Amino acid sequence: MVEDKVQAGSLADARDRLKERDFAGARQIAESLLKTGDDDVTKAGAHHVIAVVMAQENQQDEALSMLREAVLLDGAVAAYRVLLGDLLMKKGDITAALGEFAAACDAEPDFAPAHLQMGNALARLGQFDKSENAYMTYSELRPTDPQGKSNLGNIAAMTGRPEAAVVLYEAALALEPEMAGVLSNLGNVLMQLGRPADAVSRYVEALRLQPRNPAIRRNLKIAENMLQEDKS
């Protein structure tokens, strides 16, 4: 029993090293646990820690192998499946990634990142209704995170609901005002609604945050030209 406590503490220490971005230290502890650990939970955690380090070092295939081992040993931990899904998304295997995100949601329904990533995967597959539901769940679990509102705004914009998109983007900006992408997206839907003056103000704010962004600069020019035409 004493040995189990030491192993669990060592795994916690490895995770703390990850938070401190001491990747070499985290990996060293985790690799030691793979040799000395005698329970699946500890070994799964160690595989996950090593996979996080490998992903940071752009060793995607190796990280995938480690995560698959982690899931085989302890498939009830949503974080393992979410990271596995993230890496599968990067490789372009959206369907497999979606399966991991769904399994993560089933394993831990209150694990918000699983719902966010499931929404992203569903959106990539063009399943906007299901994606919207996933983002709504995320937003309910993380009401102070603007990402949920922003993503819901994106879905509204992509499905021909610019008025709803405006409300959602503004809700996201109320939580975090300095998000250039959201400001730019808000400007775009305001242009669709024939509100160039409002769009100009959003593009100006977005450009202040990202002064070298050519798309924002181009859209600002279009909005300014439309505003001039309306005045003439």
Domain count, the chain: 1
First to last CA, the chain: 82
Residue 181 lies in a domain: yes
Residue 202 lies in a domain: yes
Where residue 208 sits, what CATH number does that domain have? 1.25.40.10
Per the listing, tokens 């990142």 go with 113
Task: Could you list the beta-strand ranges (E) of the chain.
Answer: none
Each residue of 60-104: pLDDT tens digit? 999 999 999 999 999 999 999 999 999 999 999 999 999 999 999
Q: What is the structure's pLDDT at 9? A: 52
* CA 220 vs CA 25, 139, 203, 223: distances in Å: 48, 30, 6, 5
Residue 3 has pLDDT above 90, yes or no: no
Q: What is the pTM of this model?
A: 0.88
Each residue of 8-31: pLDDT tens digit? 458 999 999 999 999 999 999 999
Each residue of 169-190: pLDDT tens digit? 999 999 999 999 999 999 999 9
**Which residues form the domain of 209?**
144-227
